[in-house]
Amino acid sequence: MKAYRHGEMVLIPVPKKLEEQWQDLYEQVAQKMNNPRVIAEGEITGHKHELAGGRVDAMTLDDDNATARSTNTTGYVSRRSFLRSLGIGTVAGPVILLKVTKAATLRHPEHNALGIPAGNYVTYAQREYDETMARRVVD
């Protein structure tokens, strides 16, 4: 599966077989972001990972226990089960459901610009592991 990396941020395209689950979470439990073009902001520098151009919308899944009713089955889809289906383990912190309906460019002052094609994505900040705790990757 192709993934895009931009500093500590990872963008994973949602495969067709998981589109319905993504949509259920997006429509039912995700929360609107104040600025859907900014997917991350530096804690110290204030530099932003920001989507320029194109047409984008984004929602955040902050709650690790978020669950939505499946629209095509009698079951449910949770944030955890959806991330596991993508091959992602536990994500400490928010997960962003990013909808790019027209290609955009991801920009940050310390990284090269990155073209993001139209599609649905799961985005999160990578963490690194040591024996005592998980830490956010700092670029």
pLDDT tens for 87-99 read 998 888 889 999 9
Closest CA to 24 of 87, 66, 84, 54: 66
25/22 Cα distance (integer angstroms): 5
Residue-averaged pLDDT of the chain: 88
Please report, for the chain, the start and end positions of each structural domain, with discontinuous segments joined by +. 4-132
Q: What is the pLDDT of residue 38?
A: 93
106/111 Cα distance (integer angstroms): 9
| CA angle, 25 then 32 then 10, to 5° | 70
What is the rounded average pLDDT of the residues 92-113?
A: 93
pLDDT reading at 60 higher than 80: yes
21/96 Cα distance (integer angstroms): 14
Q: What is the pLDDT of residue 7?
A: 85
pLDDT reading at 32 higher than 60: yes
Query: Bridge partners of 134?
Result: 129
